[in-house]
Structure 1
Amino acid sequence: MTIVFILLLAFLLAALWLRIDFLRGKKLHKQKYEKKDYPIRYADLSFFTEGKMLFSDLFEEILRAKQHVHLICYIVREDSIGHHFFSLLKSKAKEGVEVRLLLDWVGSNRLNPTIIRELKEAGVHFSFCQVPRLPYLFYSLQVRNHKKICVIDGRVGYLGGFNIGDEYIGGDPKLSPWRDYHLKMTGEGVTDLQAEFLQDWQNATGEDLQTDPNYQWPDESRGKCRHQFFSTEGIGLEENYQKLLRMAEKKIVIGTPYFIPSERLMTELLGALARNVEITIIVPQTADHSLVREASYQYFRRLLKQGANILQFQHGFYHSKIILIDDKVCDIGTANFDKRSLFLNHEMNCYVYDPSCIDALKKELDKDIRSSFPVSKKLLDKPGFSLKLKETCARLISNFL
């Protein structure tokens, strides 16, 4: 009995410590947070939904680099495409091209130290970001840089959902084919991707390159597609999404691998349904992480009851992060429609306003819808004991999934 009491007391003390750590860490983060306001820009945009096509294009652009290659990645795997990626960066660095690689510590901390050493020896500037630190160790462990950004010579930029690894080109049979959205841009909008990288690089390394004239975009560069970037740090994304959902007059389409909204966003979605806005939500049939699918079911029940369309993507794994409002605004970027992206992760999204660009994205979304089937109401209406248990566990830890 004494041992049980001691174990229980230890558990309660640990839980209390984690809660204090998290709340105080979050409070300090809010105090230091400075909102970034990027202006309306014009650039030429193209989109990728298949990993092989994206990496072929990205690696070709890196090969053409003359001055610098700046990359933020959440996950880089030690597999065939990962080794190809590392070899390419080392080769460019040896040519005299400035290469800077910033990896999230949680997403890529399993990277072999030998690979890191070889990158540095070749001249690649390497750093981890969002490394857990005292005094708020638990909170800092949860806050991750989830961005995937690449800027080449200040002329080409990439942003989207693809990480770097074989699973993103069909290497994992369970998750193949991998469906995602990633944009490529040329034009004045690239300057904001550059600014975002340089800010994150300074945060991680202390090296301030933000006023270096080598990284300033020429004023005469301008593309056709009207767009705007939004950068968030577990603060601001919920407000952005609220504003976006309130704009809807006819329809909302949300594509996301994880649907775990805040209560405020649920209120906005239910309010949109009440004013006869058609809502379609696309999620994967197959889950890539434990409990994320079960965490969404409580929200699906409420939305289905009010007339929303909930679809499960059948043709591989659905990792898209996209929101379409009335065919007038399309949000594409790195943020999922879940609490981790809303309240913890560092994310970057792009609002696209140009009709021709939106038409291209809409065609891809229509493919997603044709490759999806309605979620099983029988599964949701009459969950068995196992599902109920999973849903309960998911609800308790939904902020961290």
Structure 2
Amino acid sequence: MSIPQLLTVIAMLLHMAGILAAMHAVMNTRTPQGAFAWALGLTLLPYVTLIPYLFLGRRRFSGYVTLHRAHRQRLSDATLRDGHTDIPPACSQYTALVQMLNANFHPGQQLKLLIDGDATFEAILGAIAKAERCILVQFFIIHDDALGRRVQKALLERAAAGVQIFVLFDGIGSHALPKHYVETLQKGGVAIHPFATQRRSNRFQLNFRNHRKIVVVDGWLGFVGGLNVGDEYLGLKPPLAPWRDTHLQLSGPAVIDLQRSFAVDWHWVTGELPPILPTRPAQGSAYSLIAAMGPADPQETCSLFFTAAINAARERLWISSPYFVPDQSVVSALRLAVMRGVDVRVLLPSRPDHHTVFLASSLHAYDATNAGIRLFRYQPGFVHQKVLLVDNDTASVGSANLDNRSFRLNFEITALNVDSYFAKDVEQMLLEDFSKAVEITRDEYRKASYLRRLAMHVARLFDPIL
């Protein structure tokens, strides 16, 4: 067979494979937009799209879904309810979220806002050093750098003192974590495993990552937010430094739901359950709802979480997110909030950490400004916090971004808190952030070069996988 004939056969086989993959995409992709984009690309350009589809196109992982739903329900019914099932009047605007998430608003939370990496890891490492019984740790990214080794050392010291320690890290997010880092912890008595949605390793699966950041110490003190374990989160790695981020420390009954989320993921990975410890009596004034969301849920819980929170706003809605690639339901909710007279502001980075996402985000920002939504770019460094402030009484801190990856592809966790005192703290923090930001105008798009504007529109075509 001559070379031209061989190339023709290869091209035909690729197109046949592309058609089969396109049929799979039409049947299995979560959204019509995503199905259309994959089907078009796989049919017309299989040479370019077949390999990315192997990594990004799969949407089902039935084993995890079945266990996740059954196990969450069993834990909720049998051991992890505190007997409080009524929705407090102060939280009634979030009734739909309570029903969707099968979770409670827990009263009496003590909350502490942790601004940036130094404050966050001073609090986390301080809590670990005082642990007496059990430590649960879950991060999307763990690096073997100065901060990563500080965390490793702290865990080894408590393990040597007889504390039970359980660590989860995402297999893709922490792909650069060396084997010796994990083995050192294991030899020191720390139970540590990578998370994956398939128990059998699948090197072709880049979607469905566990983006949650959870630390629970002795069952009563919890941490959740946007920071991972790495020197960049302390602002030590230019050009994104200084790194702006936010975490939340909480104690009270809601910490049991952080344990529940961790327990479900741990049981999937290992087939075993970590200890579920009782929380301490409520001492604070906040109501907190732990929203553990992800693609194993029956509905698109993360997108609906944002939509419900936005719809609850009557006076003010301030959001900080590193990415602004909202889906249609969130965009519509933001536009309706503006029409209700709500003060809608969104804080975004001025520097990209992912160029394609930044380009798509810039085009969405232009459309949003045309709808009356005010957007700002934080100037000192990269802003990575995932914070939402609603009116004068509600604020959330967590791991979820305003993008499709968080809405539909990642496992996320966020604490939604109803408390005027905590909301005031968040307000003061965001006012400081907005004072260091520049408002986005239509000129950001209009004065960009033609090629850059074209790049923005091309980047937005990839919204379903960004």
Q: How far apart are 1:111 and its partner, in Å?
A: 1.1
**Following the alignment from structure 2 to structure 1, what is the Cα–Cα distance between the partners of residues 317 and 330?**
13
Distance of aligned partners of 1:179 and 1:135 in 2 relative to their CA distance in 1, 3 Å threshold = closer
C-alpha distance in structure 1 between counterparts of 2:160 and 2:422, whole Å: 38
1:301 corresponds in structure 2 to: 366
Matched, 1:239 2:304: yes
Partner of 2:208: 143
Judged with a 3 Å threshold, the aligned counterparts in structure 2 of structure 1 residues 221 and 387 are, in CA distance, closer, same or farther, namely same
CA shift for structure 1 position 392: 3.3
Shift of 1:322: 1.1
Corresponding residue for 2:411? Answer: 346
Alignment partner of 1:100 out of 141, 166, 190:
166
Q: Shift of the alpha carbon at 1:389?
A: 3.7
Report the alpha carbon displacement of residue 78 of structure 1 after superposing the two structures with TM: 1.3
User: Is the partner of 1:379 in helix, strand or coil?
Assistant: helix
CA shift in 2, pair 1:337/1:11, >3 Å: farther
Q: Which residue of 1 aligns with 2:29?
A: 23
* Secondary structure of 1:291 counterpart: helix
Q: Are 2:54 and 1:54 aligned?
A: no
Q: Per-residue deviation at 1:136?
A: 8.3
Q: In structure 1, how many angstroms separate the alpha carbons of the residues matched to 2:11 and 2:457?
A: 23
Residues in 1 aligned to 2:271 and 2:181: alpha-carbon distance in whole angstroms:
23
Amino acid at match of 1:226: Y
The C-alpha deviation readout for 1:227-247, integer Å capped at 9, x for no partner, is: 111111133111121111111
Uncovered stretches (5+) of structure 2, i.e. residues with no partner: 31-57, 70-99
| Structure-to-structure mapping, 1:39-188, within 5 angstroms | 39-41=104-106, 42-130=108-196, 138=204, 140-188=205-253
1:60-110 Cα offsets, whole Å, 9 max, x none, are 111111111110110011111111111221221122111111001111122
1:285 to 350, 367, 374: 350
- Picking from 284, 290, 304, the partner of 1:229 is 290
CA drift at 1:4: 7.0
The 1-side partners of 2:172 and 2:143 are apart by 13
* Aligned length, in residue pairs: 396
CA contact (8 A) 2:220 2:280 kept: no
Secondary structure at the residue paired with 2:372?
coil
Letter in 1 for 2:124: L
Instruction: Indicate the RMSD between aligned Cα atoms, in angstroms.
Output: 2.5
Aligned to 2:34: none
List structure 1 segments (4+ residues) > 6 angstroms apart after TM superposition.
Answer: 133-137
C-alpha contact (below 8 Å) 1:105/1:131 kept by paired residues: no
Q: CA deviation at 1:377?
A: 2.5
TM-score by length of 2: 0.79
Q: Percent sequence identity over matched residues?
A: 27
Amino acid at match of 1:53: A
Find the counterpart in structure 1 of residue 424 from structure 2: 359
Moved more, 29-38 or 154-163: 29-38
Structure 2 partner of 1:379:
444
Output the CA distance in 1 between the equivalents of 2:184 and 2:61.
Answer: 37
SS across alignment from 1:228: strand
Alpha-carbon deviation of 1:53? 1.6
Q: Residue 351 of structure 1 aligns to a residue in which SS?
A: strand
- Change over 3 Å in CA distance of 1:387–1:194 after alignment to 2: same
Q: Hey, what's the Cα distance between the residues in 1 that align with 2:202 and 2:23?
A: 10
Change (3 A) 1:378 1:72: same
1:273 shift after superposition: 1.8
Label 1:155 to 1:291 Cα distance change in 2 as closer, same or farther (>3 A): same
Check 1:168–1:23 CA distance in 2 against 1; reply closer, same or farther (3 A cut): same
Is residue 248 of structure 1 aligned with residue 309 of structure 2? no
- Bigger Cα displacement from structure 2, 3-12 vs 303-312: 3-12
8 Å CA contact retained: 1:131, 1:141: no
* Cα distance, 1:10 vs structure 2: 2.3
After superposition, the Cα gap between the structure-2 partners of 1:17 and 1:232, relative to the gap in structure 1 and judged at 3 Å, is same
1:213-224 mapped onto 2 (5 Å cutoff): 215-218=276-279, 220-224=281-285
